[in-house]
Amino acid sequence: MKKRIAAIMLLMLTLLAGCGENTPAETPTPSAAILSQGDCFVVAEDNSSGITKYSYTIKDKSGAELESAICANQPRVAVINDDLLGVRFYVNDKTFCRYYDLKNGRVSDSFFNAFWDNGKLVAYHDYDNGHRLMVRDMFDENGYYYELDLDVQALSITVTACEQSEDTGDLTVTYTYGDGGAEYSATLPTKPAESEDK
């Protein structure tokens, strides 16, 4: 019994000696800071490991998680309407967008260099197989689709403007390529051509 009491006393003295004024307090691990949030999304920044990382979580209207990930650069969320979010991601000098249908729980493909959307269609510059300007349905691969091949030799093009005609719905896209800075334009239809067979 005396040995137990002596061991407990020794333990208490050790603990008391270790908690002196000169003992530095442990630095608490910082938690993620919320940068932006809404009813169905949150974007946070975490610097706890000494490296800044960003995370995002998108949920549908019922609260089910549609997507969550960690990014090197801060993603930007745009509320397109009550049922649709667009998230723009940045990777080096490239950007891509994904769309989230909050009502029906759908997640779109990634669209590189997206420059226009209307809640149903998205227009973007694709460069996987040469340079193309494309318009397509955000979620339905069998929905509307149009592509225009650009005959350019430059490594990249930059879309500088995009305007939609009120009469036809067509998009007039202005772009530059290469270092010359000359502007070019192209027209992209946003609906199927009407059939001449009636």
CA 43, CA 36: separation in Å to the nearest integer?
5
CA 94, CA 72: separation in Å to the nearest integer?
13
Amino acid at 71: C
CA 72, CA 46: separation in Å to the nearest integer?
11
pLDDT for position 32: 80
pLDDT for position 174: 93
Identify which of 149, 84, 157, 88 has the alpha carbon closest to the alpha carbon of residue 121: 84
DSSP string, 20-81: STTSPPPPPPPPPEEEEE-SSEEEEEE-TTSS-EEEEEEE-TTS-EEEEEEESS--EEEEEE
Pick out the chain residues at pLDDT < 50: 11, 13-20, 23, 27-28, 196-198
Q: DSSP label at 118?
A: -
- Return the structure tokens found at 146: 């149009």
Report pLDDT digits (tens) over 4-15: 555 555 545 444
Q: Tell the burial category of 173 from Cβ atoms under 10 Å away from its Cβ (0-12, 13-18, 19+).
A: buried
Tell me the domain boundaries of the chain.
Answer: 32-108, 121-193
CA 37, CA 188: separation in Å to the nearest integer?
34
pLDDT for position 12: 52
pLDDT for position 113: 87
In 47-190, at which residue ranges do the beta strands (DSSP E only) sit?
Answer: 53-59, 65-71, 76-81, 84-91, 94-101, 106-107, 111-112, 114-117, 121-126, 132-137, 145-149, 157-164, 171-177, 183-188
